[in-house]
Amino acid sequence: MIYNRNFSEIDRVKIYVDNIQTYIAESYMLLFNHNKYNEFNLHKYINQEYRKEYFGCLIEAYLHNYNNIRELLLNLKPYVEVEDVLSVNTNGGNAVNTTLKDYLYLHRDWCYYEEGEKQVEIIDNAIKNSLPLKMESALFLGCGVGRLAVELSDSFKKVYATDKSYSMIWHINKLISENNFEFYNPQEKNIYSLENVAKKHTAFIKEDIKKVIREKVDFFVSDILNLPINEDSINAVFSIYFTDVIALKLWFDKINAIIKKEGYFVHFGPLDYFFSDESEMLTAKEFRLFFEKNGYTTITDKIIETSHLNDANSFTYKVYRNWLFVAKK
């Protein structure tokens, strides 16, 4: 057995978190605050007299997304205790707490638009060229809605993919069990025409890919600082657009413990650092040297440019100079 403890399950989402009640309350409030954000925009746009067609598009988009999130909230509500919700420390006015990224990743991963497919293809090819063709097992950290874990799964007999976000894993499970999921990524500005304001997107997983997922990919919720994985059990750990979320010193020992001898650690992405301690914002070279001082051999160290979460409905998009770092234990 690769797992070292049992999981809780809510609406098909497997959760390996010790303090489950607090986690559920935090997840509920994150979704609740996001729907307050949707509600705020609905109230702001609903009585506009000027540019009615433009505001009508935005109202349709935010209302649809509101109802999507409401479904998630209704599924979670029976498991939420009032005292746990009251103790959750979230700020409803903070954009981090009100704006979910799920739809941005659904757009890239499972809508099969050209811009998303190009990013996925570049990442997939770059990583596969740095690793053996076949290995036993892989763990994907911060897997989001899962496309890259699935794309790289043909190199492994078994893939484990985890994210701390309940809604990310809920969305991938919904796509596996149902035909599609519709959502909007509203564009208030940087657009060419009204057709680009609020295009409805349809995410879906092709049947042959669903078969692969059911056979070899396991999605679950967990915290990188307390993974439910036994030591010396994983051949390759992937951190794609995730490494810079938590300081290296906090998670290295935990990841190192589960990687088998001759196993691999793979980083792909920038080093944007979403924490405030500058002393832990390592350069790529410092990051590489840290691994080498701890017994790893660098296999790949190079820069690969991609767009990131590109939406063709907008004039603007991000371009990342991603660092690909592959180290062998």
Tell me the mean pLDDT in the region 92-119: 82
Per-residue model confidence as pLDDT tens digits over 224-275: 999 999 999 999 999 999 999 999 999 999 999 999 999 999 999 999 998 8
Query: In the chain, what are the domain boundaries?
Result: 101-328
* Residue 112 φ/ψ region, left for φ over 0, alpha for ψ in the -120 to 50 degree band, beta for the rest: left
Counting beta carbons within 10 angstroms of the beta carbon of residue 104, is it exposed (0 to 12), middle (13 to 18) or buried (19 or more)? middle
| Nearest in space to 113 (alpha carbons), one of 147, 65, 143 | 147
Contact 203, 106 (CB under 8 A): yes
The pLDDT > 90 percentage for the chain reads 91
| Nearest in space to 12 (alpha carbons), one of 135, 140, 177, 248 | 177
Tell me the mean pLDDT in the region 125-147: 97
Contact 100, 167 (CB under 8 A): yes
pLDDT of residue 145: 98
pLDDT for 93 beyond 50: no
Q: Give the span between the Cα atoms of 296 and 291, in whole angstroms.
A: 5
Q: What is the pTM of this model?
A: 0.95
Q: Give the span between the Cα atoms of 282 and 293, in whole angstroms.
A: 15
Class for the domain spanning 101-328? alpha beta
Distance of CA 237 to the CA centre of its chain: 15
pLDDT for 102 beyond 50: yes
